[in-house]
Chains A and B, each alone.
Chain A
Amino acid sequence: MIVSLGLLLLCQLLGEVLARALSLPLPGPIIGMMLMLCLLLLRDKVAAITPQELRDGTLETTSQSILAHLSLLFVPAGVGVVQRLDLFITHGAALVVALLLSTILALLAGLATFRLIARLTGDKAEGRE
């Protein structure tokens, strides 16, 4: 598990370094995610030199147990919101209405576009569970 955690951190660190060194308009962790994806793809090609943890499913288990509690990780920032509710209150209900309506519109627009293009490109509605 420590190897897996180390790899996640290493990818993030490299992501942060790349983002800064090349002034990429992307957050370091997202570049780290791409690096981890490359690492996983590479693992299939050069199985002999990859560490045990990358092949026996430990990385998968570690990642899944972090992602299963993704909600927890937003809690500290969320508590910060409670402390700054004054920012919200000064602009009254207008912001709440804008957030609510805009989120509904954005969700529906994204969903409809995805389905429309999927259908146009002859997609047989995969992803049904």
Chain B
Amino acid sequence: MSQDFALWVYLSHTPLLWLTVTICAYLIADRASLYLQRHPLANPVLHSVWILGLVLSLTQTPYRTYFEGAQFVHFMLGPATVALAVPLYANRAIVMRAIPPMLGALLVGGTVALVSAVLIAQALGVPKDVLISLAPKSVTGAVGMAVAESMGGDPALTAVLVISTGIIGAIIVTPLFNLTGVTDMRARGFAAGVAAHGIGTARAFQVSALAGTFSGIGMGLNAILTPILAPLLLPLLLK
């Protein structure tokens, strides 16, 4: 018994354990998603997250300990964002021809994402400080948190809302867009990137490389637009 405990003490203090567990949980979720032909509800982020949440709570592992291992995966978000240049380059001719629709969709999609979230939550009686944290929910993590912080919101709450928006977006985007009958993968991908940042982009890459490319651009452009929009629109929206 004490031998087992010594092993656990060793493992729980090395990044190796939680890095390996993170990758295994993802592999299970991703294989299930592949097996179910990338069904929207089999979203690999959603299912990896609850599996890991359950493991952490059963082993009473604090998030800080978990993150010491998982940070290596988290770190790759930066290089992965840079890597978006490769599909962008490969599709550059199609992208260059789509600049006017992209700019229009960015302005309208980005504004609707921010304004509708704040107005709906306000109508449902959500307090003002939470509304500020909610406003940048469609924009990629670090940017959203910076926006919330600069306007007096709570960046931790924004992080939660940003990730939740991404998962919700990634799940609903395919069935919702199938209902509209639009088959243009540029439009579908771009709208997903603007509304649901990187998690939406991950979903778009599951559907098609072209959708993923446009989604990456949408995400990148909304990271420019939302920090400009939030300080302009929030004072008008908040009562």
Question: Interface residues, chain A, CB within 8 Å of chain B?
Answer: 5, 8-9, 11-12, 15, 25-30, 32-37, 39-41, 59-60, 62-64, 66-85, 87-88, 91, 94-95, 97-118, 121, 123, 125-129
> Interface of B with A (CB < 8 Å)?
22-23, 25-26, 30, 43-46, 48-50, 52-53, 56, 63, 66-67, 70-71, 73-74, 76-90, 94, 97-98, 100-102, 104-110, 112-113, 116-117, 120-121, 124-127, 130, 134, 137-138, 140-143, 154, 156-157, 159-161, 163-169, 172-173, 176-177, 180, 182-188, 190-192, 194-196, 198-199, 201-203, 205, 208, 210, 212, 214, 216, 218, 220, 223-224, 227-228
- B66's nearest neighbour on chain A, judged by CB, is A79
- Measured between beta carbons, the chain A residues less than 8 angstroms from B168 are 99-100, 103
Q: Which residues of B contact A75 (CB under 8 A)?
A: 22, 25-26, 45, 48-49, 52, 70, 73
Per a CB cutoff under 8 Å, which of A9, A39, A113 touches B101? A113
Question: Can you show 29 pairs from A to B with CB atoms below 8 A apart?
Answer: A8-B79, A27-B223, A37-B85, A63-B85, A67-B87, A72-B73, A74-B163, A75-B73, A76-B74, A77-B74, A79-B56, A83-B53, A84-B159, A95-B134, A100-B168, A105-B112, A105-B116, A107-B176, A107-B192, A108-B176, A108-B191, A110-B109, A110-B190, A113-B104, A113-B105, A115-B182, A118-B101, A125-B183, A126-B98
Q: Nearest B residue to A4 by beta-carbon distance?
A: B83
B192 surroundings in chain A (CB, below 8 A): 107
- CB distance B140 to A114 under 8 Å? no
What is the interface of chain B mostly: helix, strand, loop, or mixed?
A: helix
Beyond A73-B80, A82-B50, list 18 extra A-B contacts (CB 8 Å).
A26-B224, A67-B86, A72-B26, A72-B30, A76-B70, A79-B63, A81-B49, A91-B126, A98-B117, A98-B124, A99-B168, A106-B191, A107-B191, A114-B105, A114-B187, A115-B187, A121-B101, A125-B183
The answer to whether B98 touches A118 (Cβ under 8 A) is yes
Chain A residue nearest to B158 in the complex (CB)? A87
A76:B108 contact, CB within 8 angstroms: no
Instruction: Tell which of A41, A67, A78, A126 touches B49, judged by Cβ atoms closer than 8 Å.
Output: A78
Shortest Cβ gap from B220 to chain A (Å): 5
Nearest chain B CB to A75's CB is how many angstroms away? 5
Contact A111 B182 (CB under 8 A): yes
